[in-house]
Amino acid sequence: MSQSRTDAAGVPGDGAAARISIVVPTRNRARKLSHCLQHVAAIRSTERWELIVVDNCSTDETPLVLDDLGRQSRLRLRVVTEPVPGGARTRNTGARVAGGEILIFIDDDCYVRPDIVDRYCEIFRDPAIGFAGGRILLHDRSDYPLTINESELEMRFPAERPVPCGIVQSGNMAVRRQALLDAGGFDERMGPATRFPAEDWDVQTRISIRGWAGGYFPGPTVSHHHGRKGAEARRRIRAYNVGSGAVYLKLIADRATRRTYLPHILRRMLGDMKYHQFKVATQLYGAMLFFRQNRRRLLALQDDLRNSGAHLGSA
């Protein structure tokens, strides 16, 4: 069971009747988490919002960082412990305890701009929007240009249409609580601590097929300090391709998404075959690996929207 601790102070980010919940999952990144939360503490907004940090059983100095912030900041900080490793699981844990109508997910190595709450509030004034993502800038230009999206061009994804992979990323992503509930939460078979780091794109496809629109909006901005170089970054790219292959399989196996996504997937893979054969091969490997791990479930699948990620319960 998750455990929580709350420190209160009367400021706009004190969580009272919060409309917005900022959820930061973390595991053994004490130094980067400290910088991340310093930027969160600098957010300026007239909206009521709350901060939830989900500690995925860190063994470093993370508890000390959180204690220091609780003592030194006027910001209310709610710390929730999730004992089972997994990025999707920690996001579900944060969503379960969050009180906001809009949930903003930030990685613990991302540094937000002070207007991020206001920018997301502007986007979600459109009642059709179920999920959104913002710009992710490369914090350290010596890092590999990975897991970023620095585009200043807005992209909208109509409901029940294909959502492209990798445009909206979990390091800077927001969802409407009801849309996440409709989708059944993040699929805990995916994400960090699994072989399939594609839980963000997976949940976007399930939100969309449930009738919610989404989009990429350059207003909400973070800087990503991931620190990956050369060989490590290339290994990470391969892992992302394995993850996207698993999502491909889910989308094709599910009757609710097959008609929408099968032509889209075939076009993408055929287009990649000309110059990116290794990428396609890795995606096929990811699909095969996911099938092997979930064979019975996939063979019995009637509606993966209902069965694949119903982890939020009555949150």
What distance lies between CA 194 and its chain's CA centroid?
15
d(CA 133, CA 136): 9
| Domain residue spans of the chain | 3-228, 232-300
- Strand-strand pairing, 20-26 and 49-55: parallel
Residues 275 and 265: beta-carbon distance below 8 Å = no
Coil, helix or strand at residue 224: strand
Confidence of residue 204 (pLDDT cuts 50, 70, 90): very high
DSSP state of 164: P
Q: Dihedral sign for Cα 129, 212, 305, 259, please.
A: negative
* pLDDT tens figures, 260-283: 999 999 999 999 998 899 999 999
The listed CATH number (3.10.110.10, 3.90.550.10, 3.30.870.10, 3.50.50.60) that belongs to domain 3-228: 3.90.550.10
**In the predicted model, is pLDDT for residue 55 greater than 50?**
yes
- What pTM value is reported for the model? 0.90
Residues 256 and 205: beta-carbon distance below 8 Å = no
d(CA 20, CA 94): 13
- pLDDT greater at residue 252 or residue 313: 252
Residues 216 and 168: beta-carbon distance below 8 Å = yes
Residues 270 and 279: beta-carbon distance below 8 Å = no
* pLDDT tens figures, 299-309: 655 444 444 45
pLDDT for position 313: 53
Residues 165 and 130: beta-carbon distance below 8 Å = no
Which residue type sits at 183? A
Can you tell me the mean pLDDT for 162-171? 97
DSSP state of 149: B
**In the predicted model, is pLDDT for residue 296 greater than 80?**
no
Give the range among 64-73, 77-86, 103-112 with minimum mean pLDDT.
64-73
